[in-house]
Structure 1
């Protein structure tokens, strides 16, 4: 119970209509910049075009998630006694909506068609609103709420949302060798909305396949591989644990590289209770509405440095990946080769951050968003 109480204290409901809309407007702006940040990594060679395209798809899906939630809670605080209540978000650790919000959204999506059958369409709702405003001289609060829910379910019905679990899929990158030496190369990708951190987490795995049947067409291996990867998609697990376990469970699938992207936390002096240097930076920036935020972007990277043959059965052998763990930055204990940290923030908070230059941020990559939406990179 004490742990549950502490977790609940970290969560906060947005009760005021204007505050709720400001929160979603801020995230609409933030998610709109993420694909451009990924493009910066491509321009410098840190990510390939295929990897950027996949990351962009997840970023767009995240934007649709916030759009759906913005519709759902559009009338929060004004339509008392109606509807879904108030948005709950994590004000201590992530700044994002809590995991339960996305679980509820996934449940709503499964029943979106049934809900919309019992609702008037947008045109009919607009007609009724005009009639109530002009004919009865009343604010059509209930009709506005009905419209917000109609838009919410329409967004869910379109799909392309960032769900609590985004199951593994593959992009074929090409083949090496021929005949028995054929190795198919894939980029496997999946994502979760991590329930412990309340932030979106994206995984990319470079994989070589030496099986008889191409992995996506293999009716046995592919479902097993998908289930294995989803079960291991937990922020608390080290990358070497995930990749090493996968390597041992599938003798003809060889993970050459595994990356994990944490999109968040989000910090804002208006919404979150951060501590440390960022607290002072955001408070001293006195940024205008919509410019008072900073978003962390962290990439963990694990790379295979060589292959060793391990005896299998009486006469056979299988390849086992030996992963590179860099001991100089503590990565050996954390189970990764390296970790790259970045922060995305508007110009005014960046100016204050540059002036203060706190020690913990000197090695952090900075992506600065201009008022026009352009993203600039600073080290």
Structure 2
């Protein structure tokens, strides 16, 4: 087996699989609470929180759908259907192939539902099997789980490999310009993590960007193609600035959701693994989620020649001077790393004080939804 294959683990135990999905549903709820804290601090405005919340909801729906798909993992159903494959070393999230397969299933979900018995009829048959035949209706349970899976796919609002750019009008500026915020997201197949992008730009075109039938599809295709975690924000922003003369990117942000660490499920190396091992937290509190935000801001504008008689604006972006002094090339104005974790793992983290965590912001969450920050 290759190293990559060894890092991808199938959750073939029924209860282990179900706990995994419950864990992620809990984590997504805590993410929303943390977003509320950032809004209260003024680091996110209401619209930005709404955008991030929508992507968190999409992730929640995605995990719910996969939870139904693999609800009977490890049980004898009379049909082999596999188990969820997760990246146990690098991300703690499902591998990208799971999202790709789900997208393919979604295209055929309606047809599958047309040929399946209703939920109510399946439940009636299950009761008859239990009472009349005194057997566990495993096969019927499997059929029901698959029906619920396809129903979730038909509902939509899921997090796909590529979530196309959408626009939000922010206002009109002097000189006839318009200001927009674009947002899009991807499930990065290189690291098996969701990544969310937000860009604020000025539009000096004659037609507003979302209504421009020529530019808007080109912008969507361009940004989707550049949504790679390995690309620096500076590379993405400069490429966009140079390809669209009448669109002027002023601020670009990228949010990396994950990795997720769990002593029960992941094998990442490093201090967090030791922290979770020593914490011995109860079920549902044995985890930590890393959250990284990168930001690139336009510092000033210069004029460049475009042909013989015209000029175009070009953005000069501000880069983190401290990163350059330390020999790092972030390609961003700033980068902030945060970690979201329950109380007991946080206590162990504070006691051990591992190197590299002093500058990491900690959000400590409770089962009641309360968030403390350190």
Task: Give the TM-score of the pair, scaled to structure 1.
Answer: 0.96
Question: How far apart are residue 290 of structure 1 and its match?
Answer: 0.9
8 Å Cα contact 1:205-1:256 kept in structure 2: yes
Aligned counterpart for 2:138 among listed residues 137, 141, 144: 141
Aligned counterpart for 1:18 among listed residues 15, 28, 44: 15
What's 1:186 paired with?
180
Is 1:286 paired with 2:280?
A: yes
In structure 2, relative to structure 1, the CA distance for the partners of 1:143 and 1:81 (3 Å cut) is closer
The aligned length equals 372
Aligned counterpart for 1:44 among listed residues 30, 34, 41: 41
SS of aligned partner of 1:208: strand
Is 1:373 paired with 2:369?
A: yes
Question: How far apart are residue 373 of structure 1 and its match?
Answer: 2.0
After TM superposition, the runs of 4+ consecutive aligned structure 1 residues lying more than 3 A away are none
Question: How far apart are residue 274 of structure 1 and its match?
Answer: 1.8
- Matches for 1:228-239 after TM superposition, within 5 Å: 228-239=222-233
Deviations 1:338-373 (A, max 9, x none): 100000001110111111122211110111111212
8 Å Cα contact 1:79-1:145 kept in structure 2: no
What's 2:154 paired with?
157
Specify every segment of 5 or more residues in structure 2 that has no aligned partner in the other structure, as ranges: none
Cα distance in 1, alignment partners of residues 28 and 318 from structure 2: 33
Question: How far apart are residue 329 of structure 1 and its match?
Answer: 2.1
8 Å Cα contact 1:168-1:190 kept in structure 2: yes
Cα distance in 2, alignment partners of residues 243 and 91 from structure 1: 33
Is 1:70 paired with 2:67?
A: yes
Is 1:240 paired with 2:237?
A: no
Question: How far apart are residue 81 of structure 1 and its match?
Answer: 4.5
Is 1:200 paired with 2:197?
A: no
8 Å Cα contact 2:77-2:142 kept in structure 1: no
Cα distance in 2, alignment partners of residues 32 and 227 from structure 1: 31
Cα distance in 2, alignment partners of residues 259 and 199 from structure 1: 16
Cα distance in 1, alignment partners of residues 231 and 118 from structure 2: 46
Specify every segment of 5 or more residues in structure 1 that has no aligned partner in the other structure, as ranges: none
Is 1:100 paired with 2:97?
A: yes
What's 2:221 paired with?
227
What's 2:346 paired with?
350
Cα distance in 1, alignment partners of residues 233 and 368 from structure 2: 38
Cα distance in 1, alignment partners of residues 118 and 342 from structure 2: 39
Is 1:328 paired with 2:322?
A: yes
Aligned counterpart for 1:216 among listed residues 207, 210, 219: 210
Task: Give the TM-score of the pair, scaled to structure 2.
Answer: 0.98
8 Å Cα contact 2:78-2:139 kept in structure 1: no
8 Å Cα contact 2:193-2:258 kept in structure 1: yes
